[in-house]
Structure 1
Amino acid sequence: MRADQAPVDALVELPECCLRHAIESQPALALRMRELGFRPGVRVQMGRKVAGGARLVTIGSARYAVDAHTLRQLEVIPVAA
């Protein structure tokens, strides 16, 4: 599933291929996402939607607003609570 399709408040994990599309199409974006902590195996709490289709996401203690375009490129796996 893509990150933009995950339900609000869902806990998801980033699979090994999580940034494959971004790496292929926008290497600079993929690098920035890795710098922010978006790496395979990381668990991400999907927050509420905000303006323009962006979403608030939490990784560890850090919260980010991620735009809709980037969310569409990020693969995630739902984690059972």
Structure 2
Amino acid sequence: MRADQAPVDALVELPECCLQHAINEQPALALRLRELGFRPGVRVQIGRKVAGGARLVTVGTARYAVDAATLRQLEVIPVAA
């Protein structure tokens, strides 16, 4: 599943291939996501939608507004709560 398809407040995990699409299409974006903590094995909470189609995403204790185009490039695995 892609991150933009996750339901609100879903807890998801980033698999090994989570950034593969971003690495292939936009290496600079993939690097920035890794700097922000988007790495394989990390659990992320996908929050509500905000202006412009972005979603609030919580990684650890940090919250980011991530645009829809970037979310479409992140593969995620739902985690049972």
- Normalized against structure 2, the TM-score is what? 0.99
Unaligned runs of at least 5 residues, structure 1: none
Over 6 Å off, 4+ runs:
none
Unaligned runs of at least 5 residues, structure 2: none
SS in 2 for 1:58: strand
Deviation at 1:7, TM superposition (A): 0.3
CA distance, structure 2, for counterparts of residue 6 and residue 47 of structure 1:
9
Give percent identity, aligned residues only: 90
SS in 2 for 1:18: coil
Across the aligned residues of Structure 1 and Structure 2, the Cα RMSD in angstroms comes to 0.4
Count the aligned residue pairs: 81
SS in 2 for 1:70: helix
Deviations 1:15-71 (A, max 9, x none): 000000000000000000000000000000111001111000001100000000000
SS in 1 for 2:75: coil
